[in-house]
Structure 1
Amino acid sequence: MRFLTLAAAFCIAAPGLAQAQSTPAPLSAYASEFIKKPVFSKSYQKMLTLPSWVRTGQGTSEIVKPLTIEGKAYLVTNICEPHNCHDHQLNLIFTKDGKQAWGLLSTFRGSKLYQLPLGEPDDAIMNALTKNFQDNNPGSPT
């Protein structure tokens, strides 16, 4: 009798157990572990890759000009995606010796402007990059 009761209880519970096993288990990985999984690693790396015109410097560009920021001499210029300068631009500032560079990558999606600083610019360099963008894009939001 005892065996029959246990078997009956299992039969009643079994449909629920089968359903529970078909439901995906919740993710329990930290981001640092999660992005290393092969299924997510590729899309993560792709997300971090700058566009080819930025990586290679193959774009429509402007003449390099001198710029003084807080009494120090720098060089400033712009480059943009060929045939799409309005929507994809990179403003650049270099030290005169070329040992350090900063950039401001600007992308328009419709009327929305997205900007990504590159090279960890301090406030003075960031202000100069933003001004350079504004000078080349009068009337654009910042």
Structure 2
Amino acid sequence: MNLLKTLTAALMFGGSAAALAADTDTEFHLNELLKTDPQYQETWQDLVEDQERLPEWIMNLDGVAPPMKALEEDGDKFLVGEICEAQNCFNQRLYVAFSWDKDSAYALYVQLPEALPQGKAPSKYATQQWLGEPDEGIKEMLQEQLKKDPNWY
């Protein structure tokens, strides 16, 4: 019976339900992910250990995070999510993709100046930094997540 429910959910959600545990309604959030599975923690630490001057909230994925999504890029599955600094969500955000096997992680760190001119497009003033060595497909996938923000133009 569980198998039937899982297959139905996968068909209804275009396959993205596969990112969730097969027999639960678990939602993954970046700000909780490192605590749920040591493999995610190890992969994340491998990604950020050689980075210089990253804020503490990024190092620990500590902030505000909506549910993650299962996405495919060039036939590979990824668990993708976003997180932002709790006190400064608009100006400090991070988009992350973990490979399905939890062996790789990539991230896009987006910063906006504190004094963004009123009425100006945030995209014109943003600084973007890639973490890891994502290929063009992964870069595009993470940038698409950023573009889905209604305040990003």
> Structure 2 length as normaliser, TM-score?
0.58
Looking at secondary structure, tell me which structure has more helix per residue: 1
The yes-or-no answer on 1:140 pairing with 2:152 is yes
- Residue number in structure 2 paired with 1:74: 78
Task: Give the alignment partner of residue 96 of structure 2, picking from 92, 98, 105.
Answer: 92
Once the two structures are superposed, what CA deviation does each residue of 1:82-140 show, in whole Å capped at 9, x if it has no partner?
Answer: 021110000000101111000000000125111001111100000001001111x2352
- Residue number in structure 2 paired with 1:125: 138
Give how far 1:48 is off: 2.2
Identity %: 30
The yes-or-no answer on 1:103 pairing with 2:107 is yes
Summarize the alignment of residues 27-106 of structure 1 with structure 2, pairs less than 5 Å apart.
48-106=52-110
What SS is found at the alignment partner of 2:112? strand
- Residue number in structure 1 paired with 2:12: none
Question: Whole-Å Cα distance in 2 between the matches of residues 104 and 138 of structure 1?
Answer: 18
Give how far 1:49 is off: 1.6
Change (3 A) 1:65 1:55: same
AA aligned opposite 2:152: S
AA aligned opposite 1:140: W
Aligned residues: 94
- Residue number in structure 2 paired with 1:114: 127
Name structure 1 gaps, 5 residues minimum.
1-46
Looking at secondary structure, tell me which structure has more strand per residue: 1
Question: Whole-Å Cα distance in 2 between the matches of residues 57 and 71 of structure 1?
Answer: 27
- Structure number with greater Rg is 1
- Residue number in structure 2 paired with 1:17: none
Question: Whole-Å Cα distance in 2 between the matches of residues 96 and 64 of structure 1?
Answer: 13
Question: Whole-Å Cα distance in 2 between the matches of residues 139 and 55 of structure 1?
Answer: 25
> Structure 1 length as normaliser, TM-score?
0.62
Name structure 2 gaps, 5 residues minimum.
1-50, 117-121
Question: Whole-Å Cα distance in 1 between the matches of residues 96 and 132 of structure 2?
Answer: 10
Question: Whole-Å Cα distance in 1 between the matches of residues 109 and 63 of structure 2?
Answer: 13
What SS is found at the alignment partner of 1:66? strand
Question: Whole-Å Cα distance in 1 between the matches of residues 87 and 53 of structure 2?
Answer: 21
